[in-house]
Structure 1
Amino acid sequence: MLLSEIKEKALELVDNLKLVDFGFALPYTWVLVQGPKGKALGVAMTLPEEIQRYTNSISEPSLEKFIEKADSLNVIERTLGLAAINAVSQYHIDLSNAEWVDVLELLPETSGKVALIGNMPPLTKELRERGYDVYVFERNAKLWDRDTYSDALEYNLLPEMDAVIASATCLVNGTIDMLLDRAKNAKIFVLTGPTGQLLPEFLKGTRVTHLASMKVVDIKKALLGLKLGSFKGFEKGNRKYVLKVV
């Protein structure tokens, strides 16, 4: 399980970091850490449709305890764990080789089959306008539209794709391993969105080729947006980036 491998790598990087604050909330669960170089904020999208009658087994929160639960079957623990891993990643991340571009710039100009894992209407619209054959998969039925496929069809259709742009929430809902296995012919596999704040070296040796995420550049502004449950409030404190996984 990829999350199990990622958590072990993240645990090796927590020595000089302490947990400052955290929140399991909408739209994002967040973890704030601090070390000698300053503070870093990590997030993971909260998926209400995945939450049932779970009880968090962590009674004394710590950075290490959160990360150790990143591969838990309990979605609350898993979300907090991934947010903690992202906080550690953002503290250590080197963006000197980052491209400050939109995810669309990663795709070749020639047409082809592109899978979107997660319904992202603005991206879908632009891809179709550029001539790509777009397949949109979505697990949450509330987000379906007339051109959306159930995620149950990913298993059969992903091997046909030339490129995959996957919402990094696939890490939260536990489908990342299946997606990477089935997208065996895709030349580009992008994890996108704030949940994809991982260190690229955590994904070395997988089929993931790029991370398209957000760097929190104004922690105070972003944190206020998170506490107020605001997508736009959070994103105002961020800057988008793309990193290649090498």
Structure 2
Amino acid sequence: MPDLARLQLDAVSVSFPTPNGVFQALAPVDLTVPAGRFISLIGPSGCGKSTLFNVIAGLQAPTSGQVRVDGDDVTGMIGLVGYMLQKDLLLSWRTVLDNIVLGMEIRGVPVAEARERALPYLRKYGLAGFEHVYPSALSGGMRQRAALLRTLLTDTDIILLDEPFGALDAQTKSRMQDWLLQIWADFQKTVVFVTHDVEEAVYLSDDIYVMATRPGRIVERLDVPLARPRSRALVSDPRFIEIKEHCLSLLSHDTSDAPLAVA
């Protein structure tokens, strides 16, 4: 495995002033993601998953705590991680190829070189023949492929994926999950994935972090000891079912008054 980045959060918390006092959106979170690992965050709406992503990406300053990459304090620094939202945010006036190379352009790669580097990936990952069409001609799944390739080609070792398949139909979502596992194995990035779909989290992840709200925090980390590469047959595996049911049990309980767990 190449020398990839290790992500670490040290007691990261976020609070906001309100007319009624201070609102704690995120209690102190400790989280370590080993290099090349695929982890998922699951939890109810309002538990701080997106806030946590914004802190990792440097888009929001934490009230306390630090974000570290390979031991270096990178709190508040932008451009060190790739970040993909549920909406693909493809630019309508740029072709598929020119959307995919956008991240490389921003990082200073000449356009011609960026296109040359990107083209083999379009051909390998199901976008051959769509290089010069515009996003309006693509299906939802194809748009997400393009957006994910753009994120992966930004030359960052850490990738944040915030519900990238949440708006897709079930059949397309399943295909995209398998495609993501293939491309992750090829690129060997460190991935932090947010989803509301427990089965998706179990199928994709090495580890799952379950979050609770009031305030947002991690209440449990679950290891997913399922061999890779994975197939759809896993969903009937007793270990898969056990992990899924345990996650659902955690999410179904009001854990707002539970003690904080160190992840």
Please, what TM-score do these two structures have when normalized by structure 2? 0.27
Which has the larger Rg?
A: 2
Q: Which has the higher contact order (CA 8 A, sep 6+)?
A: 2
